[in-house]
Structure 1
Amino acid sequence: MKKSLLLLVTLMLSGCATHWPETALLNPQIIPANQQYYAGNRITMEGVDKREAAHVFYIKKKEKTPVLVNSERPLNLLLAEKLAEGLRSQGLEVGNSGTTNLTLAISSAVVTVEEQTFTYITKSRVSLQVMADFQGNRLSKQFNMSSSKEEPGEPSIAELEFLLNQQLGNLLQQIMADEALRSYLKGQPS
């Protein structure tokens, strides 16, 4: 009886495989500033995607073809929009003309899930680069974040979206708080 019950539970659990969507809903949150750092400063901004592949989630199960999930919106446009929103909350004017050109480049933004014998290993890596150009003076800074977790159950799409949104949001906050970048955006490179 115990063997039959164990077999039944095993079959039921193996039949509960996660169905992965084709796209992920990414929407990193930023905290609007409560302080104005810029007064009358204007910049232009663009988002560039330098990743080798467009997917944001890579799910590899044993003996199966990997599942690749892309962002619903182009990630470079989404992150540039969010960063512009955050900088505007600090008093910066972001538009088609300005004294400083700011580029936000995505070097890496991926969460991988790999099935092991009894567990799933989830690893994430996000790497963003900002480049500011003020009248020939240039600043380039890299912002990185990564994590790794091993757990008995397969993570859900909602858990993966939460993880990536949190890391992207944290890096955008770091960019907004960077003092050297603020100097360039104010037109006062040091």
Structure 2
Amino acid sequence: MKSPILLLAALLLGGCATHWPETALLNPQVIPANQQYYSGNRITMEGIDKRAAAHVFAIKQKEKAPVYIKSEQPLNTLLVERLSEGLRSQGLEVGNSGTTNLTLQVNNALVNVEEKTFTYVTKSKVSLQVMADFQGSRLTKVFNASASKEGPGEPSIADLELVLNQQLGSLIQQIMADEQLRGYLKGQPSA
């Protein structure tokens, strides 16, 4: 009597295994500025991805091959779009020509999920670097975010996307609010 019940339980639990998608939908939100910081200032912007691997999520479960999930859209392209939107809301013109060149570099953007004995540990780390060049004067700044969470249930893809979207959005807001960077974008690097 016990073996049919155990078999049924094993089949039911096996049927509950998460099916992970091949790509993640990342959509970090940027809050438009309610203040104009730039007037007639134009910049060029590019995005570079310097990550060691292309995936944004790594799921490691016991006795299973690791699952690696990439962003649906190239991360550097997505972040340049979002940062451009945010800077435009502050009055900055972003285009093919400008007095300042701004480079947004993705150094790290990864959420690791690891199954432990009775829990799942989720650790995320994001590192973005900006480099602003104005007539030979250069500013380089790094913006970091990290988080860690341990819980009894396996996180869903929506949970993981939310964590990474929040961190990316927060870092873009920090970049937009950086006073030293604003000086370079205005063409006043000493300001």
Query: Could you say which TM-score interval applies, normalised by the shorter chain?
Result: over 0.9
How big is the shift at 1:23?
0.2
Q: Output the CA distance in 2 between the equivalents of 1:63 and 1:151.
A: 19
Query: Which residue is 2:185 aligned to?
Result: 185
1:1-190 matched pairs, under 5 angstroms: 8-9=8-9, 11-190=11-190
Which amino acid in 2 is paired with 1:36? Q
Task: Extract structure 1 runs of 4+ deviating beyond 4 A.
Answer: 1-11
Give unmatched runs, 5+ long, in structure 1.
none
Q: Output the CA distance in 1 between the equivalents of 2:122 and 2:19.
A: 17
1:112 aligned counterpart, secondary structure: strand
Q: Output the CA distance in 2 between the equivalents of 1:2 and 1:88.
A: 66
TM (norm. structure 2) is 0.95
Which amino acid in 1 is paired with 2:22? E
Which amino acid in 1 is paired with 2:124? S
1:88 aligned counterpart, secondary structure: helix
What's the CA shift string for 1:137-190, capped at 9, x where partnerless? 000000000000000000000000011000000000000000000000000001
How big is the shift at 1:13?
2.8
1:166 aligned counterpart, secondary structure: helix
How big is the shift at 1:10?
5.6
1:113 aligned counterpart, secondary structure: strand
1:161 aligned counterpart, secondary structure: helix
Identity over aligned residues, as a percent? 77
TM (norm. structure 1) is 0.95
Q: Output the CA distance in 2 between the equivalents of 1:44 and 1:8.
A: 61
Which amino acid in 2 is paired with 1:16? C
How big is the shift at 1:6?
7.5
What's the CA shift string for 1:63-97, capped at 9, x where partnerless? 21110000000000000000000000000000000
Which amino acid in 1 is paired with 2:83? L
Aligned residues: 190
Q: CA RMSD in A?
A: 1.6
The verdict on how the C-alpha distance between 1:81 and 1:186 changes in structure 2, with shifts beyond 3 A counting, is same
2:163 aligned counterpart, secondary structure: helix
Q: Output the CA distance in 1 between the equivalents of 2:9 and 2:41.
A: 63
How big is the shift at 1:5?
6.4
Q: Output the CA distance in 2 between the equivalents of 1:83 and 1:65.
A: 36
2:123 aligned counterpart, secondary structure: strand
How big is the shift at 1:15?
2.7
Q: Output the CA distance in 2 between the equivalents of 1:152 and 1:15.
A: 18
Q: Output the CA distance in 2 between the equivalents of 1:12 and 1:86.
A: 48
Give unmatched runs, 5+ long, in structure 2.
none
Q: Output the CA distance in 2 between the equivalents of 1:136 and 1:114.
A: 45
